[in-house]
Structure 1
Amino acid sequence: MAVVHVAGIGKMGLPMAGHLQAAGHAVTVSDPGDERLQLARRQGLAVAEDAATAMGRADVVLSSLPDDAALRQVAAQVTRSARRGAIYMDTSTVSQTASAEVAGELAAAGVFYLRTTVSGNNRMAEAAQLTVMASGPRAAYNAVLPLLKTLGPNQFYLGEAEQARLMKLVVNLMIAQTSAMLAEALTLGRKGGLVWGDMWQVLGASAVASPIVKAKAVQLSQRDFTPTFTVGQMIKDLDLILGAGEAVHAPLAQTALTHQLMHAAMAQGDGQDDYAAIIKTVERSAGLSADLQEKP
């Protein structure tokens, strides 16, 4: 069994830490938020008194972080504190640029660096149903594969460098575009007089009923926009996606439009709703109310 330190125990990091501990690994956690640390303690996880010391003792450091700045900060701490030969796995959605920068620093410190991005929301993390997309040293990946298998049923090794970062953006591009597709389709249906609940029943049984459409149907059929991933978070990911497209001269015209719709949702006060709130944005542009009883 491995000694693991988990840095960053938000909605994704905390359940991942719990699955690792349940599998028999010796887990400690750290986080800048006292509320998250208290929650970890209530769930039976050991909170590190000093993150640097815990990193120094760990075979594996795992992080789940919000952005490039946080990755740079935690990677610098790993570089200073982790022992040579340790493995650093980061599951965050960050830029390839920031990831490549910290890769050099970690290599100089003798720390093996794995980009272990994950596809799935917090509910899937809690249910150990994440898909892992990994890149970095193959030997390090082979060594931590038993740990990755505690997070979900599917693991993919994609290469030695930043492939996992790009693959995560590819997946999230399609997630964002699914919400845009639903926004236009459902607005067309409502504008033409179809019943909201009827549309969701048909979509769920149709050829377009992808896993994400089916998952969204559970909440959205009730007009519930409680977030699994907010509009604001999706804007951050779309910034990364469009930046990746610019770097390789890949035209992402439809994604750019979806990016603007997300900004419209933010401007209209829906920034903390689920990213599917762009449905409401498109409805408004068609003169529809949020009130389903109101006639189009």
Structure 2
Amino acid sequence: MTTSNKVAWIGLGKLGLPMAARIAAAGTPVQGFDLSAERMVLAEQVGITAHLSLATAVEGCRLVFVSIPDDRALLGLHLGPDGLVEAMAPGSVLIETSTVSIEASARVAEAADARGIAYLRSPVSGNPVAAESGTLSAMVSGPREALEEAVPVMAAFTKAQYWLGDAEQARYAKLAINLMIAVSAGMMGEALAMARKGNIGWEAMLDLMADSAVGSPMVKYKTQPLKDRDFTATFSAAQMAKDLDLILGCAHADGVAVPLAAQMREAYSSLIGTGHGEDDYIATIHHTERLSGLPAFESATGARE
């Protein structure tokens, strides 16, 4: 067991890097590792010490954070003789922040337990902008005493840490939240299509939605990009499709009826098939407008999409 105050961060992608950078900026030394040389260079520029191997990145670190894209990356990173679990010291704490399946997470939990490592499932709700501002929310399950130890570091990139239980509860919670986000995106698409058919001004309807009973933080956050018809991805349609696959798999395994999830998965399949897979997930607007026979959007300046 190590008593050093430095931490390791494995996976320096769009979410991982700003989260790790917040920790470094708060004064905690961060040792980072990523398979991308470009991301390692970016990490060095924000005060993270880049390492060329997992073993050296986690050396001397009691807290090890992970941010990776999917189940395949999760299992490939953590398991096996050269994996992260074997590289970590017994008695250390693994904090895994990704959106992955319950089954894959449970396999990591088993390996961590055998190694004597406390495993915190800690997916986060938010996007890279929230990561940069330190306002992510963490859904956490695993040993509560391990969370209490990690909170002072996690506070650098999260506004809240919700402990939900000692097993896979956090994974269920993250999938449930993302289901609500996907369905909300679909509802916004339909509502805005109705408004256009009714000759309501585009910006006027968006302002109304944001200021109405349905003006959730997500709606408010998307109001200005939608006014600008800016579909630059903070979380892409393809990524949402991946999460919906996880949601459907989880729900089917547990006997939960999720017809809205199935419908939204088909909507995102259509977006991907029509070239909008790398657009932001709110590009459900395109899908509904196309189905509704609406013409290409024309802004006040006369520009068309």
Aligned position for 1:90: 96
Aligned position for 2:76: 73
Aligned position for 1:18: 21
- Shift of residue 54 of structure 1? 2.2
- Shift of residue 3 of structure 1? 1.8
CA RMSD in angstroms comes to 1.3
- Shift of residue 74 of structure 1? 2.0
Aligned position for 2:141: 135
> Which stretches of structure 1, 4 residues or more, deviate above 2 A after TM superposition?
289-294
Would you say the 8 A contact 2:31–2:58 is kept in 1? no
Do structure 1's residue 121 and structure 2's residue 127 form an aligned pair?
A: yes
- Shift of residue 84 of structure 1? 0.7
- Secondary structure of 1:147 counterpart: helix
Aligned position for 1:55: 58
Alignment of 1:266-285 (within 5 A): 266-285=272-291
Would you say the 8 A contact 2:25–2:47 is kept in 1? no
Would you say the 8 A contact 1:172–1:237 is kept in 2? yes
Instruction: Give CA-to-partner distance per residue, 1:26-74, whole Å, 9 cap, x none.
Output: 2111101111111111222210133212223211110100000111122
- Shift of residue 288 of structure 1? 1.0
For 1:107, give the aligned amino acid. Answer: D
Alignment of 1:182-201 (within 5 A): 182-201=188-207
Instruction: Give CA-to-partner distance per residue, 1:224-249, whole Å, 9 cap, x none.
Output: 11110000000000000111110111
- Shift of residue 126 of structure 1? 0.4
In 2, the alpha carbon distance for the partners of 1:68 and 1:2 equals 30
Identity %: 41
Would you say the 8 A contact 1:196–1:292 is kept in 2? no
In 2, the alpha carbon distance for the partners of 1:290 and 1:64 equals 38
Alignment of 1:181-260 (within 5 A): 181-260=187-266
- What is the aligned residue count? 294
For 1:163, give the aligned amino acid. Answer: Q
Aligned position for 1:156: 162
For 1:41, give the aligned amino acid. Answer: E
Q: 1:145 aligns with which of 132, 151, 154?
A: 151
Worse overlay, 178-187 or 198-207: 198-207
Aligned position for 2:269: 263
In 2, the alpha carbon distance for the partners of 1:164 and 1:282 equals 32
Would you say the 8 A contact 1:135–1:163 is kept in 2? yes
Aligned position for 1:174: 180
- Unaligned runs of at least 5 residues, structure 1: none
Would you say the 8 A contact 1:280–1:290 is kept in 2? no
In 1, the alpha carbon distance for the partners of 2:91 and 2:110 equals 15
In 2, the alpha carbon distance for the partners of 1:2 and 1:15 equals 20
Do structure 1's residue 34 and structure 2's residue 37 form an aligned pair?
A: yes
For 2:24, give the aligned amino acid. Answer: Q
In 1, the alpha carbon distance for the partners of 2:84 and 2:119 equals 10
Q: 1:45 aligns with which of 48, 72, 76?
A: 48
Instruction: Give CA-to-partner distance per residue, 1:80-109, whole Å, 9 cap, x none.
Output: 111110111100000000000111111111
